[in-house]
Amino acid sequence: MPSLPSRLSRLALAYAPYAGALAVRGLEVVGKLGLFMLAARLLGTHEAGLYFICLTWVGLAATIARAGFEKAVVRHMAAEIAIGDGAAAQRAMLTGLGWTLLGSVIATLATLAAAAPAASYLFHDPDLAAPLRIAALAILPQALCFYAGHVLLGLGRGVAGQFVQNASWPVFTLLAMLAGAQSLSAMLYALALANLAATAIGAGLILRAERDGAAPVEAPAGALPALWRTAVPLGLVEVVQVSLNSIPMLLLAVYASPAEVGAFSIANRLSILIWVVIIAIGSIAAPRFSALHRLGDWAGLRAQNRRARRLVALCSVPPVALMMLVPGPLLALIGPGFEIAATALVIMAAGQLVNGLLSCQDIVLAMTGHGGLLRWLNVAQFLVCCAAGAVLVPLYGMNGAAILTALVIVQGALGTAIAVRRLMPQAF
């Protein structure tokens, strides 16, 4: 029987990647908060609004451009490396890269063409046209930055992958702003260059990564489907998730005052910090889920799934409790007037509590070839969000938007957990 120090050493090694991922996501939070606060201070209300619209546009366009291939490549690379087929993993990486490049070029050209009409007719602000054209330059490097990060995840370099796609570009952009990029156009150029630098770092790390040290073994599950078959449902899932994060806020903007919308935005961003924990831990676990499923190691998959859930619960319950017990003082730390969203924060924190206790099951589905089912679960979330939002937000305002947010979160957590329990009880 191993000695206690030996067991503790193995336990520390098992959890070290998760600690590294959480540290990286902490760096991301610091970088993004600094970036947003500095942009608001330097640009003023109007131009800061244009900047944040451009950031949102770039993020959505880059997500659509990747079309789910970044998620698919994690599953395929990890699964092929698990059976010693490094060549198949490399083919998957290059195929996904080609589709990501194509989608990014199309998204960039579409943004350049749509900048003026969107500024005038969608956002009702012609001043937005020029910034949108500059922001279009960031779509390709941001899509490639996220793709490179996911390739690193597929190679088992989870901490490096999260640094590349999540933490590096906000920090680089913030440093550029501190160095003198303080006009709207300069900040947008800095955004593009920061994502390009992050992509270059990612490419270097990919080239240095060891592809595979395992001897070839026979895969119990047989051949994987074509990469695009894995990518298509996961791409839809990604777009739906981006939409679900935006709908409550957009609906509230129609029915509430700017002060209420601003307070709700801050409360929502605080509650979303739980997602940072889930994504950090889930990204480390994802390639392992895929590899264990490919090998048919159900006991290992179940242990990995439970380990991820326990770790998320351990890290998320304390901040959720803080949000629920002292929401007013917590919001007052952000600034005066935000306390009006205290009840909304409690409601959304309750939804995140369920999410933290039933975490990572969407990742299990994605990494075990159930992307089609995950797609329909997300479509159901979207339909519920639209139908419930049409009732809750007009009737209850800010608290209605909070109920809507919590409802969709709980639906997603319960739906994916039930699906894994029914389809793969041996993995839950």
> Would you call 79 helix, strand, or coil by DSSP?
helix
Segments of the chain with pLDDT less than 50: 212-213, 221
The predicted pLDDT at position 213 comes to: 47
Report in angstroms the alpha-carbon separations of 353 from 7, 275, 350, 370: 31, 11, 5, 25
CB 72 within 8 A of CB 233: no
The predicted pLDDT at position 14 comes to: 59
List Cβ neighbours of 34 (8 Å cut-off, separation of 6 or more).
174
Nearest residue to 77 (alpha-carbon basis) of 210, 208, 237:
210
Classify the C-alpha dihedral 175-180-183-186 as positive or negative: negative
Q: Within a 10 A sphere around the Cβ of 182, how many other Cβ atoms?
A: 16
Give the global pTM. 0.76
DSSP assignment string, 275-332:
HHHHHHHHHHHHHHHHHHHHHT-HHHHHHHHHHHHHHHHHHHHHHHHHHHHSHHHHHH
- Report the alpha-carbon distance of residue 293 to residue 42 in Å, rounded: 50
In terms of C-beta density within 10 A (0-12 exposed, 13-18 middle, 19 or more buried), how is residue 203 classed? middle
- Report the alpha-carbon distance of residue 153 to residue 105 in Å, rounded: 24
Residue pLDDT, tens place only, 6-64: 555 565 555 666 777 777 877 887 887 778 778 767 887 677 767 877 887 898 899 89
Residue pLDDT, tens place only, 157-195: 888 888 998 889 999 999 999 998 889 999 999 999 999
For residue 156, give the DSSP letter. Answer: T
- Report the alpha-carbon distance of residue 213 to residue 221 in Å, rounded: 21
